[in-house]
Amino acid sequence: MQTATAEALSNIAFIKYWGNRDQALRLPQNPSLSMNLAGLKTVTTVAFDAALPHDLISINGSVATGAAAARVVRHLDLVRSMARLTVRARVDSRNTFPSGAGIASSASGFAALTVAATSAAGLELSPEALSALARRGSGSASRSVPGGFTEWQMGGSPTGDDSFAVSIAPPEYWDLVDVIAVLSAAHKATGSTEGHGLADTSPFQAARVAGAPARLTACRAALLSRDFSAFATVVEDDAVAMHAVMMTSRPPLLYWQPLTVAIIHAVPAWRADGLPVCFTIDAGPNVHCLTLSTHVAEVERRLRALGVADILIAPPGGPASIIRDF
Ligand code: PMV
């Protein structure tokens, strides 16, 4: 029996991935940029065992079935074909945060699964190849393989081998903190895999994609020069562009709740008052409020005053890794 355990962090995109040019290979229509979220972690153990008749998958302590299990089996099949293995696996995966809450559990989940499964299978892959493989499970998982602030390059090859994420700055580069207003821990109605498939039904997707490289260049420059004001503008622009596409897709995807809207009204006003904070939102109602470490308590206080009960706080985090002494 070959076993390995890996951990990987969730990430929050500053420049969003939404829509694929190849849905099966999860090749994106635009490059994206994100920060790994320390503490928001998936820990996954994979054990290949010749005695197993089929893959046995447990997620957060319950046996996975249906589409969730099938997606993991497909990913294990990719690893098995690379390693020329036929043996089945036992997978145990646990998150330290609620799944399906608009916090990318698929990102940390498929990054941890990729690192654990390839190691258990005896494959030695480069960090780029691990990221490209994680991408096949969930696009954003490619960005949870390297550490800190990461950029997922679109790549040009039809096989997707050059579509992977790399680190552009280590976690300690900038003391940004994600103060997450958790408005719903419930499973989202339309998952992102289905959502990517709807992106091209919006008349605004082409415009969003056309503008993404320039927004990414501006975001990278703001990040590398630690220019919060420039960063805030481009991050909010990019999030709203993605949600404009979502809301105008057929069928439309409206992830925002009343409190989401209250927060996105408040945050730019707080910034105009001198508090360094901006918002971004993924495929769910939660609002990620990005601020600097010295202002976390004030952002949290103001979110609570708006009626937010659940808040998660995540500074930048490191790469996916094997846990040796588990
Ligand atoms: O990796 P996926 O298929 O779960 O897509 C992630 C999509 C967003 O979270 C909405 C944006 C992003 O870039 O993370």
CA dist 205 and 191 (Å) reads 18
The ligand 1 atom at the shortest distance from the C-alpha of residue 196 is 3
The ligand 1 atom at the shortest distance from the C-alpha of residue 26 is 3
Dump strand ranges (E) for 25-148: 27-28, 32-48, 56-59, 62-63, 89-95
Q: How far is the CA of 103 from the centre of ligand 1 (A)?
A: 9
Q: How far is the CA of 282 from the centre of ligand 1 (A)?
A: 7
Query: Which residue type sits at 13?
Result: A
Q: Are the C-beta atoms of residues 2 and 322 closer than 8 Å to each other?
A: no
> Which of 12, 14, 16 has most ligand 1 atoms within 8 Å of CB, for mutation?
16
Q: How far is the CA of 147 from the centre of ligand 1 (A)?
A: 17
Digitized pLDDT (tens) for each residue of the chain, 326 residues in all: 699 999 999 999 999 999 999 999 999 999 999 999 999 999 999 999 999 999 999 999 999 999 999 999 999 999 999 999 999 999 999 998 866 555 768 999 999 999 999 999 999 999 999 999 999 999 999 999 999 999 999 999 999 999 999 999 999 999 999 999 999 766 566 888 899 999 999 999 999 999 999 999 999 999 999 999 999 999 999 999 999 999 999 999 999 999 999 999 999 999 999 999 999 999 999 999 999 999 999 999 999 999 999 999 999 999 999 997 55
Q: How far is the CA of 280 from the centre of ligand 1 (A)?
A: 12
The ligand 1 atom at the shortest distance from the C-alpha of residue 11 is 14
Query: Residues lining ligand 1, judged by CB closer than 6 Å?
Result: 13, 16-18, 32, 104, 106-107, 138-140, 192-193, 196, 282-283
Q: Are the C-beta atoms of residues 24 and 71 closer than 8 Å to each other?
A: no
For atom 9 of ligand 1, the residue with the nearest CA is 282
The ligand 1 atom at the shortest distance from the C-alpha of residue 15 is 13
> Which of 10, 18, 29 has most ligand 1 atoms within 8 Å of CB, for mutation?
18
CA dist 306 and 309 (Å) reads 9
For atom 6 of ligand 1, the residue with the nearest CA is 140
The ligand 1 atom at the shortest distance from the C-alpha of residue 140 is 1
Q: Which residues are within 8 A (CB) of 93 and not within 5 positions of it... i.e. 6 or more apart?
A: 42, 43, 44, 45, 57, 58, 59, 60, 109, 112, 113
Check: pTM over 0.85? Answer yes or no: yes
The ligand 1 atom at the shortest distance from the C-alpha of residue 12 is 14
